[in-house]
């Protein structure tokens, strides 16, 4: 029976939220055991005698005396309670640790022991004893591991104690602190108050034991300050080790502790458990209930920005080396040898590959663009399936103000990192949003001076088909929406330009925003329109003791179409302000009046107060919140427990398993295709800077404590459209289908993520699932998505990556040239923040290569007092009254029209009486004068004063000379941001383009605009030739199909309309020789689309294009009548176009054959390899 199923959430009682598998080895290692009978300890209840081995070390702390006395007293009390005799063997000699002696003991007590304790035989005896059913009871110093200790040389001992410490807060070391009962109603906490305050030495654990033990008591770090475990600090715990038992407490430094009632009560319970007198459940938190963290994984930089690329890789950046080396870069103290910056490198990593110390730097990619990516924003560009980055910093690191960058970059696996056309305004902390059309709108950001503003009050739209590539939305200029405080709106400076929380509104496609306490709507059509939607109501924005969940330090996400959750925060920038909020609120813009009347309501608060949390939508639609602290990027009150919000109930649940490091300002979290969440970073600046990440595996990935069996998507399209259906294959009875957009996250806000359930049908017993795609781009903006299917137990599949494309064809052009006049790209003096204000470049000086300087020019810092009219980052080119220079533009298409744009201003260093500034710009067919009067000065205190030149030229050849020259008199012209781009898409703007110009190596790069299509791999004896039509070529030696250029899998999959073209020069000709082939590798049994020479379909049919469907002998062929074919020993241009049922074959630019009845489509051809 084929029934319509609406996706529903399913919950199984024993796995409310299941998490993932740790990828990094924890501090406890598995130890191979010999196959021998383990020593069976005596049972006190059976033989009537409680026998205890009391082991101590007198040379570590004098409190061992009081500790031993307490143990003796408590053992006597237990003997009386349980009707036992008591026998205590008290020694500091490890010779007592033999199998024979331990077999007579109910428990071993370690009272203030430290250092290396045993030899190998004694270690084996202890391990056999515990695993065979014995009990361990440890006090305070037994967990201390400064220098070399038993923890370091004996992995089992590290497991037995449960954790080790090498430090604690100092000055004073012993200080008052609050202890809370974590295991309420547990046998081992009976008789204890819910919380109590006492003085002790509060150990910090090298690795938090909470995930692997049963935490009984926790230390509240906020009560004593400077702890390292955050919100989950176990101080007393128990655990089960095979048949044995272990109990440990980190309290008890001072001898006086052992006369305190609360210490004696917990010790009494623990000793009873260790001796087998008091049964208790000491199992750790179930992964099927709370999930699991991986432990700390090394990363090559602080991932202040992270984005999931269209092919499922993680692109991150955010720090640079300071030149020193931190010997312990991955411990709690972080990496002290990094500082802020994104000017030198990014990292790109496949999350399917575990990251280790051995490969930690293998994903680094040099940043050769003009832009320091620090504090920029990544955003999906669906036009070319690349990750764009807008704005950023000035390249001078932590030694200068955070002056905004005007640059834009793009990254794809196939093309790497590239400059794109710069924006009209420099922006630091902007927000980029992909619109339903595939366009990108950028809002907010600061022009210069970092948190001091001023904010950029005009948004702009990425428009590669017009002007300089970006169109200002002057109709949406707003001091209220993007205000920088004081004069432009009432009350506190809210830095509303600081990463506005922007969301595409379902239905109308406008961008709904929350920034500070202001809500507003941007209509990006035409010149733009700003519509203010009122303030966040006071009942939500200020929730009293729960805090103020607004401002830069909050986090927000659209958890369902048109429904937004915002939580945490409470301040307008990094540092200062009140305690972080635990409060939150929801905004619903799907009500009767839509965005005109947002419905804002407070939510149930989180457990913890958080500045700088990050929210992530999970595959099941719940929202995970990680990171943050009570103090704004301070050294106290940081949170190490994630929380999960259920949109159906509005309730929060705490993830009992903690993560290790304090993820504060500049931390990030990102959903991966396998359902894990990668969390990392924090710092630069901050109390600590972390070049590491941790992976969270939600409870849905577990069945109890074991990894759940996951459904699998065995076939799915690479691309889908809107308002239709598509099919996938899976061997699972599907209960739910969800779609999550690839994320891009920084500063607590993921601007790219988007979630929705999809309707589907699946016939009983069928492997085919028919899924309804999103209605339109207002519900699911175009770009890369992850498709998850769930089984009946609520376990998700690994996502199938797919791209959603609008019906409107998107322009995917990239500039031929971007020149921002930074020579060198990063000033040599960047570390000292003192680059020269003016650099003279004389004629013949090679500093500005590839420019050739004919008459001297200057590079003048934007921060120079005479400038500022285009921000304060980098340098401008100053021509003076006589300067001239030129450079060559290569790779142009002859006869093609190009657009050239240039930012320019009159040099404010020249007196007004000198007159206007001018320069001649010539390239190709263009020869024009650029003129700037006193109304266009290079100097400005705020805003921008530079003008923009936009002209076109036609290229006469593959190379043209571009020249800039001053006239010899008048004021000087200052120029920047030169961009050359094709007026219409050309040869370089096709989605997949292999030029075969490498000349070496085993791969040919895709230089096209589709970033997800990788390289073509040379196979067999294929090699390179220097004798191409334009430059180089491939030399395909023939003889076998193994000698080929292997194209990426699944090219053209599902495409109805496409073109393919290539040049070919055959040495000789033969029947059925393949020139181009896309297929499944199964030959006549499979499917393909191919172009061959000298076909023999009906006699000699010559050049032909053929389609074949999988599982069918039928083929459809397009060939010329009379026959036409390629010519041997000549270059031939072959092309084939397909539009629906119409296929046309071209030879040397002329159509030679066409048919309009093709029925075999690329969907019929299916997946190819």
Tell me: the pLDDT tens digits for 945-1003?
999 999 999 999 999 999 999 999 999 999 999 999 998 776 667 788 888 888 899 88
Residue 72: how many other CB atoms lie within 10 Å: 16
Read off the pLDDT band of 8 (50, 70, 90). Answer: very low
**CATH number of the domain that 1148 lies in?**
2.60.120.200
Rounded to whole angstroms, the maximal C-alpha distance in the chain is 110
pLDDT at 489: 55
84 shares its domain with 211: yes
Read off the pLDDT band of 1126 (50, 70, 90). Answer: very high
Q: What is the DSSP string of 85-111?
A: EEEEEEES-GGG--HHHHTT-SEEEEE
pLDDT at 60: 83
Please give the span between the terminal C-alpha atoms of the chain, in angstroms, as a whole number: 35
DSSP element (H, E) containing 431: strand 428-434
Average pLDDT over residues 381-408: 91
Region of 69 (left: φ > 0; alpha: ψ -120 to 50; beta: rest) is alpha
pLDDT at 37: 42
- Side-chain half-sphere CA neighbours of 38 within 13 A: 18
pLDDT at 549: 99
Instruction: Tell me how far apart the alpha carbons of residues 497 and 478 are, in angstroms, rounded to a whole number.
Output: 10
Tell me: the pLDDT tens digits for 500-511?
999 999 999 999
Nearest CA among 377, 230, 350 for reference residue 293:
230
Helix, strand or coil, per DSSP, at residue 1062: strand
858 shares its domain with 992: no
Tell me: the pLDDT tens digits for 168-181?
999 999 999 999 99
533 shares its domain with 632: yes
**CATH number of the domain that 312 lies in?**
2.130.10.80
Instruction: Tell me how far apart the alpha carbons of residues 563 and 80 are, in angstroms, rounded to a whole number.
Output: 63
Tell me: the pLDDT tens digits for 1151-1168?
999 999 999 998 888 877
Burial per residue of 555-566, b for 16 or more beta-carbon CB atoms within 10 angstroms, e otherwise: bbbbbbbbbbbb
Whether cis (ω within 30° of 0) applies to the bond prior to 824 is yes
Counting the structural domains of the chain, the total is: 4
Q: Which residues contact 818 (CB under 8 A, 6 or more apart)?
A: 370, 419, 420, 421, 422, 977, 978, 979
Structural tokens at position 827? 């000033």
Structural tokens at position 790? 């769930």
Give me the percent of the chain exceeding a pLDDT of 90. Answer: 80
Beta strands 563-567 and 584-588 are antiparallel
928 shares its domain with 1041: no
Read off the pLDDT band of 21 (50, 70, 90). Answer: very low
98 shares its domain with 247: yes
pLDDT at 210: 98
Average pLDDT over residues 694-702: 99
Q: Which residues contact 407 (CB under 8 A, 6 or more apart)?
A: 369, 370, 371, 391, 392, 419, 422, 423, 820
Q: At what angle do helices 261-274 and 64-82 cross, to 10 degrees?
A: 60
Please state the pTM of the whole predicted model: 0.89
In a domain, 628, yes or no: yes
Q: What is the DSSP string of 582-649?
A: --EEEEE--STTGGGS-EEEE-PPPSS-BBS-EEEE-TTS-EEEE--BSSTTSSS-B----EEEETTT
Q: Are 448 and 872 in contact (CB under 8 A)?
A: yes
Tell me: the pLDDT tens digits for 934-950?
999 999 987 899 999 99
Instruction: Tell me how far apart the alpha carbons of residues 51 and 88 are, in angstroms, rounded to a whole number.
Output: 6
pLDDT at 123: 99
299 shares its domain with 238: no
Domain boundary among 285, 318, 346: 285
Instruction: Tell me how far apart the alpha carbons of residues 401 and 447 are, in angstroms, rounded to a whole number.
Output: 11
303 shares its domain with 236: no
- Look at the chain and count its residues: 1169
Instruction: Tell me how far apart the alpha carbons of residues 631 and 641 are, in angstroms, rounded to a whole number.
Output: 16
Whether cis (ω within 30° of 0) applies to the bond prior to 1073 is no
In a domain, 725, yes or no: no
881 shares its domain with 1022: no
274 shares its domain with 218: yes
844 shares its domain with 938: yes
Q: Are 1162 and 1054 in contact (CB under 8 A)?
A: yes
Read off the pLDDT band of 22 (50, 70, 90). Answer: very low
Tell me: the pLDDT tens digits for 214-237?
999 999 999 999 999 999 999 999
Region of 1039 (left: φ > 0; alpha: ψ -120 to 50; beta: rest) is left
pLDDT at 1051: 85
Instruction: Tell me how far apart the alpha carbons of residues 1031 and 1020 are, in angstroms, rounded to a whole number.
Output: 23
Nearest CA among 219, 213, 210 for reference residue 245:
213
DSSP element (H, E) containing 15: none
| 1155 class by beta-carbon count within 10 Å (0-12 exposed, 13-18 middle, 19+ buried) | middle
- Side-chain half-sphere CA neighbours of 272 within 13 A: 24
Instruction: Tell me how far apart the alpha carbons of residues 289 and 1124 are, in angstroms, rounded to a whole number.
Output: 69
In a domain, 31, yes or no: no
pLDDT at 23: 29
In a domain, 992, yes or no: yes
Average pLDDT over residues 698-721: 96
pLDDT at 17: 29
In a domain, 800, yes or no: no
Domain boundary among 706, 725, 743: 706
pLDDT at 590: 97
pLDDT at 808: 58
Instruction: Tell me how far apart the alpha carbons of residues 208 and 237 are, in angstroms, rounded to a whole number.
Output: 12
Parent domain of 115:
47-285
pLDDT at 485: 52
**798/1037: higher pLDDT:** 798
In a domain, 720, yes or no: no
The backbone torsions φ and ψ at residue 947, rounded to the nearest 5 degrees and listed phi first, read -100, 175
pLDDT at 13: 28
1139 shares its domain with 1013: yes
Is residue 810 predicted with pLDDT exceeding 70? no
pLDDT at 45: 55
Domain boundary among 662, 689, 706: 706
Helix, strand or coil, per DSSP, at residue 335: coil
Q: Which of 25-29, 87-91, 731-735 has the lowest mean pLDDT?
A: 25-29
Average pLDDT over residues 266-270: 99
Report the chain's mean pLDDT, rounded to a whole number. Answer: 92
Tell me: the pLDDT tens digits for 535-556?
999 999 999 999 999 999 999 9
pLDDT at 1164: 85
Q: Which residues contact 1112 (CB under 8 A, 6 or more apart)?
A: none
Beta strands 195-201 and 174-181 are antiparallel
Residue 409: how many other CB atoms lie within 10 Å: 26
pLDDT at 1049: 85
Is residue 718 predicted with pLDDT exceeding 80? yes
**β-strand partners of 569:** none
Query: What is the 8-class DSSP label of residue 18?
Result: B
Helix, strand or coil, per DSSP, at residue 301: coil
pLDDT at 681: 97
Please, what sign has the CA dihedral across residues 396, 397, 399, 405? positive
Structural tokens at position 980? 């050359």
959 shares its domain with 993: no
Is residue 15 predicted with pLDDT exceeding 80? no
Helix, strand or coil, per DSSP, at residue 1151: strand
Q: Are 246 and 56 in contact (CB under 8 A)?
A: no
Average pLDDT over residues 876-903: 95
| 445 class by beta-carbon count within 10 Å (0-12 exposed, 13-18 middle, 19+ buried) | buried
Nearest CA among 136, 140, 161, 135 for reference residue 150:
161
pLDDT at 1009: 74
Structural tokens at position 289? 């209930």
Q: Return the ∠ at Cα 115 (arms to 109 and 119), rounded to 5°.
A: 80
In a domain, 854, yes or no: yes
In a domain, 355, yes or no: yes
**CATH number of the domain that 173 lies in?**
3.40.50.880
Alpha helix stretches (DSSP H) within 132-223 = 150-153, 155-161
Instruction: Tell me how far apart the alpha carbons of residues 151 and 161 are, in angstroms, rounded to a whole number.
Output: 9
Q: Tokens 């999960």 — which residue?
A: 644
Beta strands 555-560 and 563-567 are antiparallel
Read off the pLDDT band of 807 (50, 70, 90). Answer: low
Give me the percent of the chain exceeding a pLDDT of 70. Answer: 94
Instruction: Tell me how far apart the alpha carbons of residues 307 and 385 are, in angstroms, rounded to a whole number.
Output: 13
Can you point out the beta strands (E) in 907-1038? 917-923, 926-932, 947-954, 960-965, 973-982, 1003-1004, 1016-1019, 1023-1025, 1033-1035
């Amino acid at each position: 029976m084929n029934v319509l199923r609406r996706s529903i959430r399913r919950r199984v009682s024993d796995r409310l939220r299941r998490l993932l598998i740790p990828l990094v080895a924890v501090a406890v290692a598995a130890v191979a055991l010999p196959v021998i009978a383990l020593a069976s300890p005596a049972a006190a209840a059976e033989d009537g005698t409680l026998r205890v081995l009391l082991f101590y070390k007198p040379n570590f702390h004098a409190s061992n005396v009081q500790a031993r006395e307490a143990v003796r007293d408590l053992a006597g009390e237990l003997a009386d309670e349980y009707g036992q005799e008591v026998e205590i063997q008290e020694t500091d000699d490890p010779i007592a640790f033999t199998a024979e002696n331990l077999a007579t003991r109910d428990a071993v007590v370690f009272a203030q022991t430290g250092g290396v304790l045993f030899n190998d035989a004694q270690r084996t005896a202890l391990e056999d004893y515990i695993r065979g059913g014995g009990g361990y009871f440890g006090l305070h110093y037994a967990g201390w591991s400064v220098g070399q200790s038993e923890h370091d040389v004996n992995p089992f001992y590290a497991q037995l104690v449960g954790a080790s410490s090498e430090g604690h807060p100092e000055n004073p070391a012993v200080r008052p602190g609050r202890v809370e009962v974590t295991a309420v109603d547990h046998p081992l906490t009976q008789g204890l108050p819910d919380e109590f305050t006492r003085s002790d030495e509060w150990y910090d654990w090298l690795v938090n034991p909470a995930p692997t033990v049963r935490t009984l008591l926790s230390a509240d770090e906020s009560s004593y300050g400077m702890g390292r475990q955050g919100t989950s600090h176990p101080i007393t715990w128990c655990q089960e080790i095979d048949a044995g038992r272990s109990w440990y407490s980190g309290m008890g430094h001072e001898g006086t502790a052992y006369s305190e009632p609360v210490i004696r009560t917990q010790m009494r319970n623990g000793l009873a458990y260790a001796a087998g007198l008091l049964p208790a459940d000491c199992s750790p938190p179930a992964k099927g209930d709370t999930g699991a963290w991986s432990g700390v994984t090394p990363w090559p930089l602080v991932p202040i920005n992270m984005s999931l690329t269209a092919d499922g890789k993680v692109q991150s950046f955010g720090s640079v080396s300071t030149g020193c080396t931190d010997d312990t870069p991955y411990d709690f103290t972080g990496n002290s040898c990094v500082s802020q910056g994104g000017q030198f490198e990014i990292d790109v990593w496949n999350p399917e590959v575990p990251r280790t110390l051995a490969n930690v730097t293998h994903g680094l990619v040099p940043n050769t663009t003009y832009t320091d990516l620090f504090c920029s924003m990544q955003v999906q560009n669906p036009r070319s399936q690349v990750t764009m980055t807008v704005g950023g910093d000035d390249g001078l690191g932590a030694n200068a103000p955070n002056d905004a960058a005007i640059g834009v970059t793009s990254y794809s696996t196939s093309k790497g990192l590239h400059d794109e056309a710069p924006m009209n305004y420099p922006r630091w902390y902007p927000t980029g949003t992909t619109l339903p059309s595939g366009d990108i709108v950028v809002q907010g950001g600061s022009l210069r001076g970092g948190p001091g503003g001023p904010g950029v009050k005009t948004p702009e739209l990425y428009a590669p088909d017009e002007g300089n590539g970006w169109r200002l939305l002057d109709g949406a200029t707003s001091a209220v929406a993007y205000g920088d405080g004081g004069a432009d709106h009432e009350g506190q400076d809210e830095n509303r330009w600081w990463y506005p929380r922007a969301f595409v509104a379902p239905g109308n496609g406008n961008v709904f925003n929350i920034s500070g306490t202001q809500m507003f709507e941007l209509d990006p059509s035409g010149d733009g329109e700003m519509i203010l939607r009122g303030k966040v109501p006071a009942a939500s924005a200020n929730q009293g003791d729960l805090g103020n969940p607004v401002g830069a330090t909050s986090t927000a996400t659209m958890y369902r179409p048109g429904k937004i959750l915002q939580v945490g925060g409470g301040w307008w920038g990094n540092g200062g302000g009140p305690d972080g909020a635990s409060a939150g609120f929801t905004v619903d813009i799907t009500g009767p009046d839509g965005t005109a009347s947002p419905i804002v309501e407070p939510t149930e608060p989180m457990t913890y107060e958080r500045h700088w949390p990050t929210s992530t939508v999970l595959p099941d639609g719940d929202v995970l919140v990680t990171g943050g602290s009570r103090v704004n990027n301070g050294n106290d009150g940081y949170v190490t427990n994630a929380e999960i919000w259920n949109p159906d109930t509005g309730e929060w649940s705490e993830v009992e398993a903690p993560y290790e490091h304090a993820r504060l300002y500049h931390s990030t979290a990102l959903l991966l295709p396998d359902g894990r969440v990668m969390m990392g970073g924090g710092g630069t600046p901050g109390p600590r800077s972390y070049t590491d990440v941790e992976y969270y595996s939600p409870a849905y990935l577990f069945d109890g404590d074991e990894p759940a069996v996951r459904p699998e998507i065995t076939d799915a399209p690479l691309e889908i459209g809107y308002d239709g259906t598509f099919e996938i294959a899976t061997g699972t009875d599907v209960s739910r289908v969800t779609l999550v957009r690839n994320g891009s996250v920084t500063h607590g806000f993921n601007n790219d993520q988007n979630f929705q359930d999809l309707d589907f049908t699946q016939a009983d017993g069928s492997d085919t699932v028919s899924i309804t795609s999103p209605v339109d781009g207002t519900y699911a903006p175009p770009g890369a998505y992850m498709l998850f299917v769930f089984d009946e137990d609520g376990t998700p599949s690994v996502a199938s990556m797919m791209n959603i494309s609008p019906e409107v064809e998107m322009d995917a052009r990239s500039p031929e040239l971007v020149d921002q006049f930074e020579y060198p790209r990063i000033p040599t003096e960047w570390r000292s923040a003192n680059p020269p204000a003016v650099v003279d470049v004389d004629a013949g000086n090679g500093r500005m290569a590839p420019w050739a300087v004919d008459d001297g020019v200057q590079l003048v810092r934007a921060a120079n007092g005479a400038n500022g009219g285009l921000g304060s980052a980098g340098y401008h080119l100053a021509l003076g009254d006589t300067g001239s220079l030129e450079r060559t533009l290569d790779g142009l298409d002859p006869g093609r029209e190009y657009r050239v744009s240039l930012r320019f201003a009159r040099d404010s260093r020249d007196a007004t009486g000198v007159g206007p500034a001018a320069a001649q710009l010539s390239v190709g067919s263009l020869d024009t004068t650029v003129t700037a009067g006193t109304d266009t000065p290079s100097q400005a205190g705020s805003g921008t004063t530079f003008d923009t030149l936009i002209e076109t030229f036609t290229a006469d050849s593959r190379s043209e000379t571009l020249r800039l020259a001053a006239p010899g008199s008048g004021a000087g012209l200052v120029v920047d941001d030169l961009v050359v781009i094709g007026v219409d898409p050309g040869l370089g703007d096709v989605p997949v383009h292999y030029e075969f110009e490498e000349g070496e190596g085993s791969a040919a790069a895709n230089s096209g605009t589709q970033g997800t299509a990788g390289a073509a791999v040379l196979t067999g004896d294929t090699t390179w030739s220097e004798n191409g039509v334009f430059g180089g070529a491939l030399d395909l030696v023939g003889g076998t199909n193994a000698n080929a250029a292997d194209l990426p899998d699944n090219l053209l999959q599902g495409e109805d309309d496409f073109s393919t073209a290539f040049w070919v020069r055959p040495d000789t000709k033969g029947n059925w020789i393949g020139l181009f082939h896309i297929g499944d590798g199964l030959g006549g049994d499979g499917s393909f689309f191919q172009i061959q020479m000298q076909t023999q379909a009906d006699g000699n049919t010559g050049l032909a294009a053929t389609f074949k469907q999988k599982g069918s002998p039928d083929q459809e062929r397009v060939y010329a009548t009379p026959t036409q074919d390629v010519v041997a020993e000549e270059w031939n241009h072959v092309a084939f176009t397909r539009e629906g049922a119409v296929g046309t074959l071209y030879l040397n630019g002329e159509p030679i054959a066409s048919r309009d009845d093709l029925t075999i489509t690329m969907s019929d051809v299916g997946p190819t390899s």
